[in-house]
Every structure is written in C-alpha cells, then in structure tokens.
C-alpha cells in the first residue's frame, strides 16, 4: 500500500468516526496538492465547524512542515473553522491537537506521541 493510500485510508476512517457521532463530515481528496488551502476533513454539527489535517504514523513523532500548518490556519481564517490536527500513533486511538499544542521546530513542527497523549483530545472529548 502506498503512502497516499495509507493516508486516504486514515482520512476515511476518521470520516466514518465523525458520521458515527452524528457529525456531518466531508473528505477533500488531494487536499495537500491543490493550489488553494484545504484540510483533509471538514466536520460540523451546526454549532461548530472543524477543519482537520490527518496524520497516521508508526513512529513516535509526526513531523509537519510549515506549509501544512500555514495552509490550515489560512483556510480556517477564511472559512470560519476551528483548526485541528488528528494524529494516530501505532496501535493507539486518534488524538486531536490544536495548533497551540504542537511544537515548533527549526524546520517546521513536530507532534511527539508523549505530548499528544498529555495534550490531545479523544474524538468524544473534541465533539462535546
């Protein structure tokens, strides 16, 4: 399975999780390859709109480049959505982190699994 296929599978898994919680959710295929900013998922329950970038890794750290973070911020400012990063580390539950919860590095950003476990929200906590 290619990296793109794995990413698409992770996005679809989250999409089904949102629908299972009675949140409408839309997946934007190829979101990272468009000219315009766009998140992997947009989810809403009428009261809130979430823009979600999805990452799944077998490693203990997930690196993000500045471009990904900037595009999510830009989209959310225009669209009026809350920016979230959803990350799943090997054999763990999905965790949701705001931009303020990810660590800035010299070359971009990093989400450490230990930090994500402390600061991240499970989907049920996110959608309260």
Query: Which one of the listed residues 31, 44, 56, 113 is annotated catalytic?
Result: 31
**Number of Cβ atoms within 10 Å of the Cβ of 40:** 25
| pLDDT given for residue 35 in this prediction | 82
The residue segments making up the domain with residue 117 are 3-126
pTM for the whole thing?
0.91
**Number of Cβ atoms within 10 Å of the Cβ of 60:** 12
Count of the separate structural domains present in the chain:
1
| pLDDT given for residue 9 in this prediction | 86
For the record, the structure tokens of 117 come out as 């476990």
> The domain that contains 111 carries what CATH number?
3.40.1350.10
For the record, the structure tokens of 51 come out as 């823009």
| pLDDT given for residue 19 in this prediction | 98
- Bigger pLDDT: 30 vs 62: 62
C-alpha to C-alpha distance for 76 and 69, rounded to whole angstroms: 11
What is the enclosing helix (H) or strand (E) of 47?
A: none
For 52-82, the pLDDT digits (tens) are 999 999 999 999 999 999 999 999 999 999 9
37 pLDDT band, cuts 50/70/90, is very high
31 catalytic per annotation: yes
105 pLDDT band, cuts 50/70/90, is very high
* pLDDT over 80 at 34, yes or no: no
Helical residues (DSSP H) of 1-128, grouped into ranges: 3-20, 66-79, 113-119, 123-126
| pLDDT given for residue 87 in this prediction | 98
């Amino acid at each position: 399975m290619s990296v793109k296929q794995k990413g698409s599978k992770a996005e679809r898994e989250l999409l089904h999780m949102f629908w299972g919680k009675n949140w409408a959710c839309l997946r934007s295929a190829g979101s990272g390859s468009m000219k315009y900013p766009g998140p992997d998922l947009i989810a809403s329950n009428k009261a809130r709109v979430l823009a979600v970038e999805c990452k799944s890794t077998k490693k203990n750290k997930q690196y993000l480049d500045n471009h990904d973070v900037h595009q999510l911020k830009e989209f959310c400012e225009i669209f009026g959505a809350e920016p979230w990063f959803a990350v799943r580390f090997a054999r763990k539950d999905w965790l949701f982190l705001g931009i303020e919860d990810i660590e800035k590095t010299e070359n971009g950003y990093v989400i450490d699994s230990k930090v994500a476990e402390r600061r991240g929200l499970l989907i049920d906590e996110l959608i309260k």
